[in-house]
């Protein structure tokens, strides 16, 4: 007998091996109709997979958390079939599911254009209507190579030869079309549905190497139903309106140019916004017992070799050599290579190592707004969200093993308070464990992962797992915040590291009088100042709250004879701590209102002859059509109160529910 346990705990028994679709049919016709795949002891498999042992199973339908990735993977295969039917001679390479969609890479002499998308989408719908059965086959290596070569698929044939000899080669046949794939897949093309859309085409390279053949990558999005698709497309339209690059130009915050690709030229207003955010966080860190440090930009490769970053991160580092220095310091010039720091942690260990530390000095919280450089591929750059020069709101807490939990809980509380102050109250946590490429022994990783799991559970924060996505020196928590249009952004991190203190010989004198290694907690709240500012701009569509706005008030005149009163009002506002400009140009007030609205100025203080006589101001709020006339003193007090930094009040209420 085969005993099958269902998600609700109920059990079913079968007197012979049974497939996923047979189990679904035995439960009910509706489930059999809706079934897409089966999960066997947590592993997603084709619905036709035969189960020949006792197992826990789930029947995956469109409502299941794993359904979207499955649908998107199949959408990529249907795309490839449609393209090869419409454009014979096109070669296929790979087509995975990705966040919010899928893509497929093609080799074709003629370039795809967005105009081709309607034709391809129509053929994809026809393939769905055909209800082509999707079946899995196992081929020998020679058979697979021969078939792909005979059909002009040299890239697939090349890839077959890369597959380890002990790994089986699975082929998925979709009607008369087929592809090499590990699966799983839907039972038939009809199960995909038609809630998909092709989005864009871009360049790529075979195996990600710029020296190889250039490919054409066609991107699409796919969803469980038409409603979800339309919601996603609407979100994209809204996101385009909020694009921080466009708003940055309209608000005169920053610009970027080819001579410094991936770097930011901050304009006065943008730098004011930057400093406002930085100073807010600096104040919060001061209150939380951090001490701020500053470390060099350029550091000898020897430190990066000792820390392990040279081996793991070398391809992303900017290097520099100084020939005069080579001759002065060493006989072997090849040893005098410097790197712009891609992260701050090894430098913070150097500060910790100066002088003898006692257990009484711990925890020691070293913070730095550290300027870092990383060579990101040109195609990955995105405004100020993904740059090559960025500032980390970085800190490293040197502590004992017994202090890991308390320090982690305190950090999580601080992080939630800060996010709350900026209006982000929906925060998800992911636990990223050991990656394949890592430093340290399995025993060290076991200890680090156990410590971090205990800490996040004591912080009462629910989390999901991100297998294999930890840093190379330790596991980490990732904090993902959701913006007003539903997008998720990964910002903060907390990492437990036993490895770097060992590699860089950090130690302290414990109560037993012996030297012990401290634990390093790597932590950041914003992650990257530039990225967080881009998120802020898009989250608010440029309409920043008064305390953040780089220009908070513009005092605008209606007539020329109110100029002196406008200057007086501006001076009073400035004395009250507000960021103010005066607009006394000889322009109509409606023109001024439109211009400053486009620049997203939160408050327009309008003054004319009557306001000057009565010592009043007419306040117009961004996005509103009404104005409020107030006495000057009342307007000053109100705006001063509104512009005050939240200083943790809203975040404290948020954090109170989590701890």
First to last CA, the chain: 48
Q: Which one is catalytic: 91, 174, 216, 392?
A: 392
Collapsed DSSP state (helix, strand, coil) of residue 114: helix
Q: Considering 522, 523, 531, 620, which one is annotated as catalytic?
A: 522
Task: State yes or no: is 394 an active-site residue.
Answer: yes
Q: Which are the contacts of 246, defined by CB distance < 8 A and separation ≥ 6?
A: none
Q: Per the omega criterion (within 30 degrees of 0), is the bond before 363 cis?
A: yes
The region that residue 337 occupies, defined by phi over 0 for left and psi between -120 and 50 for alpha, beta otherwise, is beta
User: Going by DSSP bridges, is the β-strand pair 427-432/476-482 parallel, antiparallel, or unpaired?
Assistant: antiparallel
Q: How many CA atoms lie within 13 A of 597 on its CB side?
A: 12
Cβ–Cβ under 8 Å, residues 278 and 261? no
Euclidean distance between CA atoms 79 and 87, whole angstroms: 12
Q: Cα–Cα distance between 593 and 226 in angstroms, integer?
A: 41
Choice among 191, 373, 476, 596 that is catalytic: 476
b/e 559-595 (16+ beta carbons within 10 angstroms → b): eeebeebbeebbebbeebebbbebbbeeeebeebbee
Mark whether 396 is an active-site residue. Answer: yes
Q: CB under 8 Å to 387, separation ≥6 — which residues?
A: 262, 263, 264, 376, 381, 528, 530, 531
How far apart CA 493 and CA 343 sit, in angstroms, is 14
Q: CA 410 → CA 192, 365, 397, 649, distances in Å?
A: 46, 12, 12, 16
Please count the CA atoms within 13 angstroms of the CA of 165 that sit on its side-chain side. 0
**Structure-token pair, residue 471:** 């840093």
Told to judge if 345 belongs to the known catalytic residues of this protein, a careful annotator would answer: yes
Whether 244 has a binding-site annotation, put simply, is no
The active-site residue, picked from 156, 217, 242, 396, is: 396
Q: Which of 394, 433, 497, 583 is catalytic?
A: 394
Is 392 considered catalytic here? Answer: yes
374 is annotated as an active-site residue: yes
Q: Is 3 annotated as a binding residue?
A: no
Name which of 395, 334, 318 is nearest 363 in CA terms.
395
Q: Distance between CA 399 and CA 518 in Å, rounded?
A: 5
Is 77 labelled a binding residue?
no
Binding residues for Zn(2+): 345, 396, 522
Binding residues: 345, 396, 522
Q: Catalytic residue positions? A: 345, 374, 392, 394, 396, 476, 522
């Amino acid at each position: 007998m085969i005993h099958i346990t269902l998600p609700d705990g109920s059990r079913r028994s079968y007197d012979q091996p049974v497939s996923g679709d047979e189990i679904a049919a035995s439960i009910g016709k509706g489930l059999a109709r809706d079934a897409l795949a089966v999960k066997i002891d947590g592993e997603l498999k084709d619905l036709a997979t035969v189960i020949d042992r006792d197992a826990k199973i789930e029947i995956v339908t469109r409502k299941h958390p794993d359904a979207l990735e499955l649908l998107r993977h199949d959408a990529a295969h249907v795309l490839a079939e449609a393209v090869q039917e419409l454009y014979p001679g096109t070669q296929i390479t790979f087509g995975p599911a990705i966040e919010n969609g899928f893509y497929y890479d093609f080799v074709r002499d003629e370039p795809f254009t967005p105009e081709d998308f309607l034709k391809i989408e129509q053929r994809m719908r026809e393939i769905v209507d055909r209800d082509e059965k999707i079946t899995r086959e196992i081929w020998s290596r020679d058979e697979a190579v021969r078939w792909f070569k005979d059909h002009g698929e040299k890239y697939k044939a090349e890839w077959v030869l890369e597959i380890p000899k002990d790994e089986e080669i699975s082929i998925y046949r979709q009607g008369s079309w087929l592809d090499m794939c590990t699966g799983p897949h839907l039972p038939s093309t009809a199960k995909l549905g038609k809630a998909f859309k092709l989005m864009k085409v871009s360049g790529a390279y075979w195996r990600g190497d710029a020296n190889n053949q250039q490919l054409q990558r066609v991107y699409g999005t796919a969803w469980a139903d038409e409603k979800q698709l339309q919601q996603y497309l609407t979100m994209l339209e809204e996101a385009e309106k909020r694009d921080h690059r466009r708003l940055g130009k309209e608000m005169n915050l920053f610009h970027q140019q080819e001579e410094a690709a991936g770097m930011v030229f901050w304009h006065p207003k943008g730098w004011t916004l930057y400093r406002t955010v930085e100073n807010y966080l600096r104040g919060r860190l001061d209150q939380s017992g951090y001490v701020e440090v500053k470390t060099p930009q350029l550091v000898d490769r020897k430190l990066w070799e000792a820390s392990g970053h040279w081996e793991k991160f070398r391809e992303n580092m900017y290097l520099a050599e100084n020939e005069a220095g080579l001759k002065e310091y060493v006989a072997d010039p090849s040893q005098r290579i410097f790197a712009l720091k891609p992260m701050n942690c090894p430098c913070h260990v150097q500060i910790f190592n100066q002088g003898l530390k006692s257990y009484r000095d711990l925890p020691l919280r070293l913070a730095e707004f550290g300027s870092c450089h990383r060579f990101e591929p040109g195609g990955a750059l995105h405004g100020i969200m993904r740059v090559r020069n960025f500032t980390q709101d970085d800190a490293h807490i040197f502590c004992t093993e017994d202090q890991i939990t308390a320090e982690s809980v305190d950090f999580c509380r601080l992080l939630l308070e800060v996010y709350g102050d900026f209006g982000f109250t929906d925060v998800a946590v992911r636990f990223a464990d050991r990656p394949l490429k890592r430093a340290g022994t399995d025993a060290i990783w076991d200890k680090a992962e156990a410590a971090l799991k205990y800490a996040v559970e004591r912080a009462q924060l629910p989390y999901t797992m991100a297998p294999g996505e930890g840093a190379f020196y330790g596991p980490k928590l990732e904090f993902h915040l959701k913006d007003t249009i539903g997008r998720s952004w990964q910002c903060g991190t907390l990492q437990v590291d036993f490895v770097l203190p060992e590699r860089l010989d950090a130690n302290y004198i414990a109560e037993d009088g012996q030297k012990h290694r401290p634990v390093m907690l790597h932590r950041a709240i914003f992650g990257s100042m530039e990225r967080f500012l881009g998120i802020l701009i898009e989250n608010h569509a440029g309409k920043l709250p008064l305390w953040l706005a780089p220009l908070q008030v513009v005092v605008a005149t209606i007539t020329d004879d109110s100029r002196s009163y406008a200057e007086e009002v501006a001076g009073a506002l400035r004395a009250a701590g507000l960021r103010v400009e005066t607009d006394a140009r000889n322009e109509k007030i409606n023109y001024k209102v439109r211009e400053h609205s486009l620049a997203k100025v939160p408050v327009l203080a309008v003054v004319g002859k009557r306001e000057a006589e009565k010592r009043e101001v007419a306040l117009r709020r961004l996005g509103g059509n009404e104005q409020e006339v107030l006495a000057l003193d009342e307007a000053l007090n109100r705006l001063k109160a509104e512009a005050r930094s939240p200083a943790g009040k809203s975040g404290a209420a948020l954090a109170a529910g989590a701890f």
